[in-house]
Structure 1
Amino acid sequence: MKNPRKIWPMLSALVLLLGGCAAGGSQQSASHLSALQCQDLAALKNNAPPTPERSRSELTALRSAGYDPSRWFDPYYPADLQAAQRQVDSWFAAECQHAPPA
């Protein structure tokens, strides 16, 4: 080790981060989509006509999955949008089995 003063802060931050993950830092059982979002997404998947409310509901779900449409220049577009869409699709499959189309 050339400079242990620089290593220790990074090492302690890494230990705290990993400790939080091991202790259940992220809860997988929490619901990510509301009942209204489930209905709106089910309607969109069934080719119902898009409405402003359904579009806002879908955008809210995408933002919850990590997509940020407000960035002026996004070097990761469309990959970040597609990743968020896959996450929302996963949540939809897990949480919205009984959502009737609106």
Structure 2
Amino acid sequence: MHDFRGNRSAFIVSALLLTGCAAGGVPQSGPHLSPTECRDLAALRTNAPPTMAQHQSELSALRKAGYNPSPWNDDPWYPEDLQAAQRLVDYWFQTECPRPPPPG
């Protein structure tokens, strides 16, 4: 039997990408991120002060990617599970969100 604890985040991201599944194992067709999430995630990548709505969009996207923050702070896989979800959201952002036109 393989021990995936050391590579758990890579395993999770690979499994989600290969199966096209979001949190809960439900296959999704079409984009994973909403236009609002794309807009808010793009804004979070700037130096502007973030808003609560932008943080909520980011958390929503992370939950879609399988991250479930524990209210009891007893997640034995933290921060690996958060980092895996962040990588998946970054992948979705790069592949699904429209790029702004270059300035000039």
Matches within 5 A, 1:1-102: 26-27=27-28, 30-72=30-72, 73-98=74-99
Matched length: 76
Structure possessing the higher radius of gyration over alpha carbons = 1
Q: Return the alpha-carbon distance in structure 2 between the equivalents of residues 99 and 91 of structure 1.
A: 16
> Which TM-score applies when normalising by structure 2?
0.65
Superposed CA deviations along residues 15-54 of structure 1, whole A, max 9, x for unmatched, are xxxxxx7xxx845x52100111101000101222111000
Change in CA separation of 1:36 and 1:48 when aligned onto 2, cut-off 3 Å: same
Q: CA deviation at 1:71?
A: 4.5
Q: Which has the higher helix share?
A: 1
Matched residues, percent identical? 61
TM-score, normalising length from structure 1?
0.66
Deviation, structure 1 residue 69: 0.6
Q: Which amino acid aligns with 1:65?
A: A
